[in-house]
Amino acid sequence: MALTIWGRHTSSNVQKLLWGCTEMGVAYDRPDMAGAFGFTEEYLAMNPNRLVPTIDDDGFILWESNACLRYLADKHGRGTLWPEDPYVRADADRWMDWQTATFWPALRPVFHQLIRTPTDQQDRDLIDRSVKLAGEITAVLDHFLAGRDFVAGDQFTMGDIPIGGVIYRWYEMDIARPDRPNVRKWYERLAERPGYAEHIMIPLE
């Protein structure tokens, strides 16, 4: 039984799987791929999107980070990352899609501009607009975290992983942020988890 997760460790989409595997005690190999490492022809034959991550689980190849996380949680995290209750599971699932479809598209330009673009080439208007939009969107997360420890209820689930990963970037970048007390408490709760400290709370690059 061997799991390979391809991708550079600085990718938020790769980090979802590394953190998830650490939570579940699943061992893996992680060959570097993408970014400065480029792509091999063998990799592109598995995933022609020129994106990471891709996993190979004993010959089963899969890409799209949230699909990979759901697959791994279903296989190894029943009752923990993968809630048995269909309502709780759907709730967790919803926050995974919300990270990909709503929050990260708003924050992504800020990250790419401030962290990956030389200062003299940064687009200040884009940064300002995106900082404002991402900050406004966090009101939704703050509202739903009221009275619960994690996004899908009292237990940590797969739903916390994608949005938890990028909320670190929101707090770590030198930007204006509205006060979101429930998000802050949840973030501090995540920061106590060894897998979060190991895979998410790393220098931004």
DSSP H or E run through 62: strand 60-63
Size of residue set near ligand GSH by CB under 6 A? 11
- Taken in order 7, 10, 16, 18, the sign of the CA dihedral is positive
Residue 15: closest CA among 185, 141, 163: 163
Site for ligand GSH (CB under 6 A): which residue of 3, 5, 13, 107?
A: 13
DSSP H or E run through 113: helix 104-116
> Residue with structure tokens 């391809």?
6
Residue 198: closest CA among 69, 19, 3: 19
Site for ligand GSH (CB under 6 A): which residue of 18, 52, 114, 151?
A: 52
Please choose, out of 64-72, 84-92, 105-113, 183-191, the segment that lies near ligand GSH by the rule CB under 6 A. 64-72
SS3 72: helix
Instruction: Determine if 12 is a binding residue for ligand GSH (CB under 6 A).
Output: yes
Site for ligand GSH (CB under 6 A): which residue of 4, 30, 51, 184?
A: 51
Please choose, out of 46-54, 71-79, 140-148, 168-176, the segment that lies near ligand GSH by the rule CB under 6 A. 46-54
Please choose, out of 45-53, 101-109, 131-139, 170-178, the segment that lies near ligand GSH by the rule CB under 6 A. 45-53
The amino acid present at 80, given as its one-letter code, is T
Site for ligand GSH (CB under 6 A): which residue of 28, 35, 117, 149?
A: 35
| Alpha carbon distance 97, 94 (integer Å) | 5
Q: Please give the backbone phi and psi of residue 5, each rounded to the nearest 5 degrees, phi first.
A: -120, 110
**Residue list 76-115, contact with ligand GSH (CB under 6 A):** none
User: Of 53 and 83, which CB lies nearer to ligand GSH in the complex structure?
Assistant: 53
Site for ligand GSH (CB under 6 A): which residue of 22, 65, 99, 113?
A: 65
The amino acid present at 20, given as its one-letter code, is G
Which stretches of the chain bind ligand GSH, using CB under 6 A? 11-13, 34-35, 51-53, 64-66
